[in-house]
Amino acid sequence: MRVAVVGCGVIGRSWIRVFTRAGHDVRVWDANPAAQDAALIWHESERLRAGTPGPMPQAAASLGEALDGAVYVQESGPEVLEAKRALYAALDAAAPPGAILASSTSTLDMTAIAAALPGAARCIVAHPVNPPHVVPVVEVLGGASTTPETVETTCTILRQAGQVPVLLNRYVPGFLLNRMQAALVREAISLVQSGVADVEAVDAVIQQGLGLRWALMGPFGVANTNADGGVREYFTRYGGSFEWLMNELGETPMFTPELIEEIGRQVDAMVGGTSHEVLRAWRDRMVERITTLKEQDTP
């Protein structure tokens, strides 16, 4: 199957790995040729590191060349509505009639992106977790005109590529992942800003505490195992405490330059000079190992 990856930033380059690893014929295009070249170089280094076979992606000289013969298109362009709308107009005009047009957008509504497009029925959100070649969840949501067949086929293609599609019933800004992430980051920032704890303490509570459980279960799954009677007993017993704590959460902090610099200073001290590249590579290796372990040991 031919897949076109349009947009070759951090997310787009990772999608290239997802689809080549699954054995697909992948065509790659970015409006910035330097980004396209960098993504292909990164892909080759990642392929060699992982030691996994698969066809090599092919650079396209134009958007039309990338879309020629494509069955599925994964777009990862700028997160700006007008830019998305312009890009989707070009995709809809140039892609084969049956090709699915999927967007990596992390916040935008496909109804707005595909408004007035002749091919709106084949347009869909497929929002990954960064980086998708390591973290498998993809949030899937159609727009007002997206057909059930488009949704079903998208989920099938993603599953066959090793991803885990999660369907949303309706649009909400930020979808599931970024809303929950924003809630946690909001409180983490507030705790640091108010002087309750420093960056290292906040990260330790997640890394060595909540995150260990969350790698295996979500909040409802954890609640179900935190009381002998399961989730009903847990929320009956602790619901009042949760309501009190939720109402205690402070105002949303402002990301002032001073706050960002203070967080950066504390993070620099926490990582002790280890580079971003080394940390990302370690993160990816560990997530892969955790994922493999979970597949081997199921309840």
Range from 4-8, 166-170, 294-298 carrying the lowest mean pLDDT: 294-298
Residue that is last in its domain, among 167, 188, 221: 167
What pLDDT shows up at residue 54? Answer: 76
State the alpha helices, DSSP H only, in the chain: 10-21, 33-50, 63-67, 81-94, 110-113, 148-160, 177-193, 199-205, 211-214, 219-225, 230-248, 257-271, 276-296
201/157 same-domain check: no
Q: What six digits make up the tokens of 109?
A: 């509504």
Residues 157, 209, single domain; the answer is no
Over residues 33-82, the pLDDT tens digits come to 999 999 999 999 988 888 877 789 999 999 999 999 999 999 999 999 99
Whole-angstrom CA distances from 79 to 68, 143, 263 are 25, 17, 25
The pLDDT mean for the chain works out to 95
Q: Do you find a cis peptide bond into 131, omega within 30 degrees of 0?
A: yes
* Domain-located, residue 160: yes
- 30 in the same domain as 160: yes
- CATH number where 217 lies: 1.10.1040.10
Rounded CA-CA distance 102/18 in Å is 14
pLDDT (0 to 100) of residue 251:
83
How far is it, in rounded angstroms, from Cα 67 to Cα 6? 9
Q: Are 104 and 231 found together in one domain?
A: no
- β-strands 100-103, 137-142 pairing: unpaired
Q: Is residue 172 part of a domain?
A: no
Residue-number span of the structural domain to which 17 is assigned:
2-167
Give the whole-angstrom CA distance, residue 60 versus residue 95: 14
Q: Kindly give the interhelix angle for 177-193 and 257-271, rounded to the nearest 10 degrees.
A: 90
pLDDT tens sequence across 100-155: 999 999 999 999 999 999 999 999 999 999 999 999 999 999 999 999 999 999 99
Q: Where does a domain end: 138, 167, 196? A: 167
Is 76 in contact with 11 (CB distance < 8 Å)? Answer: yes
* pLDDT class of 16 with cuts at 50, 70, 90: very high
Shared domain check, 191 and 116: no
pLDDT at 55: 86
Give the model confidence (pLDDT) of 240-269 as tens digits: 999 999 999 978 999 999 999 999 999 999
